[in-house]
């Protein structure tokens, strides 16, 4: 604590970052680590493992999922999501102003309908109002119609066109995915896990604008374009879920499936004005032991020696105070609202640790309601860092999801239309089956 205080004091006096993250010397390309320069002077460490595939299997045909839904947003903030089927055109009605609007989204203000009861006779001056009752319908602020088909198939490690992308959150590094990267690479999957700028062994620009959401999202977009295959699966944790959602919008045809681990609700990102991370960098550095203890308390279900070792070994909360402050203040993403998430047509698996104190389970439940194809799995023994606490459970859960494919039901057979007389004639010509003889009758014979 005293050392952190002295370093923080020197940081305030010299106006230099107290601890700067630099590439580690042990990261060699032979170990599966690469250093990618996404922009001049902006270098990210990426762990890229291409396993040997002795057997190449053809991907299964999978199932086709039809998506047709209408998303309507009103000016008062109300959101209506309608999953429209084949009879969607019949469910639309023509409104008085000539526009078409689904029945469930038309709101009528009863105070504007001055109609009498069935037994009353309207006056002469009110005849026109009675014949055409005035109805006021709130005009939607935004309306989006989605109509597409997606083929979802099983993704095995022997499929050469499948790649897994792992994206961590604030304060983490690619090391938190160590169990997942080793597990799936042994199964034959090609895995890619980058370090965000300022995290792990990536470069740490000493400028606040380098850690905004849009700057980090652009890094992930360039990393994805560099390593993407035909079918890609995104796995994000916490803040990394937002970058996965961004990529799913940017490359909808290349994203096959997605996994959100403790990502929170479908709300637009906006930095908090009253937060401890708004304090000066030197003050945050002095409080770094307290912040690490708070992260251990809220990020893990238990706070034993094993959890402390995991926190230190996997660099789960090892980032400079300047980067931490810039990351929290740069979480501005107004486009990532409920409509943005509702437009996704990618199947999503949501994994939530029951003891998570950072993200309430209600937020992931709301995300499940908003998304088109979402499956929520709550792990009882996990918290925010569930991939470190329950690695075997998470690996099995993800693997089952990667192998999942929807079952496409065959269309129902249409019965031939026949006339009643013909049907009766066909019924008369049917030879009846012989009646079953009871045992008592058989003994009499």
pLDDT in tens, 331-345: 999 999 999 999 999
Instruction: Count CB-CB contacts under 10 A for residue 160.
Output: 15
Candidates 323, 321, 317, 292; CA nearest to 18 is 321
Half-sphere exposure in the Cβ direction for 82 (13 Å, CA) = 21
pLDDT score, position 402: 97
In the chain, count of helices (H) and strands (E)?
Answer: 16, 13
Task: Decide: 342 and 265 in contact? Cβ < 8 Å.
Answer: no
Q: State residue 188 phi and psi, 5-degree precision.
A: 100, 5
User: Residue 440: exposed, middle, or buried by beta-carbon count in 10 A (0-12, 13-18, 19+)?
Assistant: exposed
Strands 33-39 and 42-49: antiparallel
Which of the residues in the chain have pLDDT under 70? 1-31, 54-57, 59-60, 85-138, 408-445
Sign of the torsion angle spanned by Cα atoms 152, 154, 158, 164: positive
For residue 80, the tally of other CB atoms under 10 A from its CB is 15
Q: What is the pLDDT of residue 278?
A: 75
Q: State the pLDDT at residue 24.
A: 39
pLDDT in tens, 289-328: 888 888 888 889 888 888 888 888 887 788 899 999 999 9
pTM value surpassing 0.85: no
CA distance 324 to 114: 60
> How big is the chain by its Cα radius of gyration, in Å?
30
Biggest alpha carbon–alpha carbon distance for the chain: 115
Q: H or E element: which one contains 243?
A: helix 240-250
Residue 436: the pLDDT is: 44
- Residue found by looking up tokens 């606040």 in the block: 208
- As a whole number of angstroms, the distance between CA 369 and CA 376 comes to 10
What confidence score (pLDDT) does residue 146 get? 85
Residue 52 tokens, joined: 């040997």
Supply the pLDDT for residue 407: 76
Residues known to be catalytic: 238, 356, 384
Helix (H, G, I), strand (E, B) or coil at 237: strand
Q: How many alpha carbons fall within 13 Å on the CB side of residue 323?
A: 24
């Amino acid at each position: 604590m005293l050392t952190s205080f002295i370093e923080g004091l020197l940081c305030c006096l010299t106006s230099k970052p107290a601890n700067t993250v630099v590439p580690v010397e042990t990261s060699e390309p032979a170990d599966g680590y690469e250093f990618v320069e996404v922009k001049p002077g902006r270098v990210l460490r990426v762990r890229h493992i291409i396993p040997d595939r002795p057997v190449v299997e053809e991907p299964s045909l999978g199932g086709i999922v039809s998506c047709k839904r209408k998303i309507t947003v009103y000016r008062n903030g109300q959101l209506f999501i309608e999953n429209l089927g084949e009879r969607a055109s019949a469910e639309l009605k023509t409104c008085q102003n000539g526009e078409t609007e689904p029945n469930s989204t038309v709101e009528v203000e009863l105070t504007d309908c001055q109609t009498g009861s069935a037994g009353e006779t309207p006056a002469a001056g009110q005849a026109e109002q009675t014949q055409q009752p005035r109805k006021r319908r709130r005009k939607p602020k935004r309306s989006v119609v989605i109509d597409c088909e997606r083929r979802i198939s099983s993704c095995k490690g022997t499929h050469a066109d499948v790649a897994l992308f792992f994206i961590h959150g604030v304060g983490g590094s690619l090391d938190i995915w160590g169990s997942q990267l080793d597990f799936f690479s042994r199964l034959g999957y090609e895995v890619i896990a980058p370090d965000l700028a300022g995290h792990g062994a990536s470069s740490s620009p000493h400028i606040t604008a380098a850690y905004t959401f849009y700057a980090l999202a652009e890094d992930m977009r360039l990393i994805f374009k560099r390593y993407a295959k035909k079918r890609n699966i995104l796995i994000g944790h916490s803040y990394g879920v937002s970058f996965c959602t961004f990529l799913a919008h940017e490359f909808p045809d290349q994203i096959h499936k997605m996994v959100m681990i403790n990502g929170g609700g479908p709300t637009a990102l906006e930095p908090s004005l009253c937060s401890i991370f708004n304090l000066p960098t030197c003050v945050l550095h002095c409080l770094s032991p307290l912040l690490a203890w708070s992260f251990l308390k809220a990020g893990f279900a238990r706070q034993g020696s094993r959890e402390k070792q995991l926190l230190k070994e996997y660099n789960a909360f090892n980032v400079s105070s300047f980067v931490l402050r810039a990351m929290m203040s740069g979480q501005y993403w107004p486009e990532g609202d409920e409509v943005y998430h509702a437009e996704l047509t990618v199947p999503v698996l949501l994994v939530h640790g029951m003891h998570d104190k950072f993200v309430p389970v209600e937020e992931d439940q709301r995300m499940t309601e908003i998304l088109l194809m979402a499956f929520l799995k709550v792990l009882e023994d996990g918290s925010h860092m569930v991939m470190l606490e329950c690695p075997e459970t998470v690996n099995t859960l993800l693997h089952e999801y990667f192998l999942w494919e929807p079952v496409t039901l065959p269309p129902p057979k249409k019965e031939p239309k026949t006339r009643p007389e013909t049907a009766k004639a066909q019924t008369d010509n049917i030879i009846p089956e012989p009646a079953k003889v009871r045992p008592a009758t058989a003994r009499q014979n």
